[in-house]
Structure 1
Amino acid sequence: MERALASYHPIVSFLFFVVVIGMSMLYMHPVLLLISLISAIIYSTILNKEKFKQTLSFASIIILGAIIANAMFVNRGFTVLFYFRQNPVTLESISYGLCAGIMMASVVVWFSCYNEIITSDKFLYIFGKTFPSIALMISMVLRLIPKLTEQTKIIAKSQKTVGLDYSEGNLKMKIKSSMRILSILVTWALEDAVQTADSMKARGYGIKGRTNFSIYRFIKRDMIMLGIIGTIGLFLFMGYINGYGNLMFYPSIENIRFDGLYIAVYLSFFLITLLPSFLEIVEEYKWKYSEWMD
């Protein structure tokens, strides 16, 4: 079954991720960042339930690393909690590191969701006509890590079948087996890049006047969803420009406000980040209802 957000026109799906990832990177406010991270984890779990623990662990490592790094290297702030090697560790530096870590973790999780929804074909469809070379390069870069990870697993399994398991033997044998896998992976990556380039060239990619066949149609529901995402995104950006997306941490932590436009910004960001999860729930309900009717 196709994912609900993926069933919309590529421009609609792409705009959603631009708004959510863009605002998550701009914001430095604990409420908004928590909304982004929780929503990202929920949607990532819906897309791939098996990776829930992995996603949670990865996000925790990023957050913990940011807290430690900021606390150790930034000594600003009035509230000194303790001293580490004669350097003050302040509540403000820990709080800022926590928010920075949540921001980085949420962006990483949202990008993992992006890779599930926006395929290379969709990305090339959006930007291929205007920026063919750049679009192809970015598309290949975004696919690189998932492709290399998957290919590494395939190579490791094939090596295991011929008795060259990298997890067995002493340290020297493990290193030798791992280097063999790395060598095969690098060779495969270079060959794949050359084949992709030759294939695109043979198909006339990037040549002026080249026609394109598209399976995507921009219909009424795409227009409605584009309007919703665009309106909320514009409101959030205007709110950020006017100071509704940042919290002061230094020299002391500013109070978190829950009044007026702050509540409107919180709710708007909450709605747009949970939008794909809501669409998935509605789609699943439709499928179950249709099966029950049959």
Structure 2
Amino acid sequence: MAARLSRRHVAFEGSHPLVPATCLAGTLLVSMFAIQPVLSCVSLVGAISFSLCCLGPRLTAERLRWQLPLLALVCLANPIFVRSGVTTLLVVGPVEVHAESLAYGACMGATLVSTLLWIECASRVLSADRLLGLGGGPLPTVQLILSMAGRLVPQLLARSREVGSTLDACTAGGGPSSGGKAGRVRMTGVLLGWALEDSVERSDSMRARGWGAMGKRTSYQREALRARDALAAACLALLALGSAVLAWKACSEWRFYPSMPTLVPWLGYLPYCVLAAAPTAITLVDRARWARLG
């Protein structure tokens, strides 16, 4: 019983894959594109806290052992390449270290580290089976469309060159060349007829292999989408959308160069704080619930 309960302590294990996918996708997108001191710090703190819940303290410490030096490297290397700014902290030979360059490097490093942590935690939460269950219905059809497009588009281009070469070879008999308007119209008609003929043969071949035998393709669903999961995903999507809009507003009003404005308290940071803390809070609530059941 204890082993079964410990296995259920994986983050978002009791939720439909749509819930963690919505939450982590929104958090990750805002984290990658919002380069602003407060938002970068919120993303880093949220990523570390969720990593502690998802990966555990030991694995999180192993990741931070090389990620934090990477953050420091990006922070310290930025003033060497970017010498903009008006607040000079120190001068090392020909290099002037400005506070603005250090702040921008620190934000970029924090964004890089938080993005790496969010992606690794997402890979642990959304396994291949859960992703397949999330997109198992339309995924095979989309895959077929992309594979057919990847094969038929080059084939169509090769045929257009073949038809154009044939038209150019027949100009001695008074026919139009491929470069003229009449030649392009004739080449388009030949390609269209060729493609329609192939489409009829291809549809017959697919129908013979069972495509279209049923009105809707069925798929096995390991986890059912319950009403509470749909409600949670909708709330997280609205929270992510609001966070993105407010993050865009915060980034548009912030600048690193030539001088940084003063940071002031703003309630617009609150939605992203809630979004970044949501994975950790949901995981802790699930663990507390399973602990009571044990």
Residue in structure 2 matched with residue 109 of structure 1 by the alignment? 117
Alpha carbons of structure 1 residues 240 and 277: separation in structure 2 relative to 1, 3 Å: closer
Over alpha carbons, which structure has the higher Rg?
A: 2
Describe the superposition over 1:99-154 as per-residue Cα deviations: whole angstroms up to 9, x where unpaired. 11001100000011001101112223334544549879xxxxxxxxxxxxxxxxxx
Amino acid at match of 1:33: S
**Taking CA–CA contacts closer than 8 Å with sequence separation of 6 or more, which of the two structures ends up with the larger relative contact order?**
2
Alpha carbons of structure 1 residues 88 and 105: separation in structure 2 relative to 1, 3 Å: same
Amino acid at match of 1:60: L
Residue in structure 1 matched with residue 259 of structure 2 by the alignment? 252
Alpha carbons of structure 1 residues 70 and 12: separation in structure 2 relative to 1, 3 Å: same
Residue in structure 2 matched with residue 67 of structure 1 by the alignment? 75
Residue in structure 2 matched with residue 164 of structure 1 by the alignment? none
Q: What is the alpha-carbon root mean square deviation over aligned residues?
A: 2.4
Deviation at 1:11, TM superposition (A): 1.8
1:286 to 276, 285, 289: 289
Structure 2 gap ranges (5+): 1-6, 145-209
1:49-128 correspondence to structure 2 within 5 Å: 49=56, 50-128=58-136
Residue in structure 2 matched with residue 46 of structure 1 by the alignment? 53
1:127-138 correspondence to structure 2 within 5 Å: 127-132=135-140
1:270 to 255, 268, 273: 273
Q: Does 1:6 align with 2:9?
A: no
Structure 1 gap ranges (5+): 137-206
Residue in structure 2 matched with residue 191 of structure 1 by the alignment? none
Q: TM-score, normalised by structure 2?
A: 0.67
CA contact (8 A) 1:27 1:246 kept: no
Deviation at 1:246, TM superposition (A): 6.1
Deviation at 1:245, TM superposition (A): 6.8
CA distance in 2, matches of 1:131, 1:285: 35
1:104 partner SS: helix
Alpha carbons of structure 1 residues 233 and 135: separation in structure 2 relative to 1, 3 Å: farther
CA distance in 2, matches of 1:135, 1:72: 46
Q: After superposing the two structures, state which structure 1 stretch, 34-43 or 46-55, moved more.
A: 46-55
Residue in structure 1 matched with residue 42 of structure 2 by the alignment? 35
Aligned residues: 217
CA contact (8 A) 1:25 1:103 kept: yes
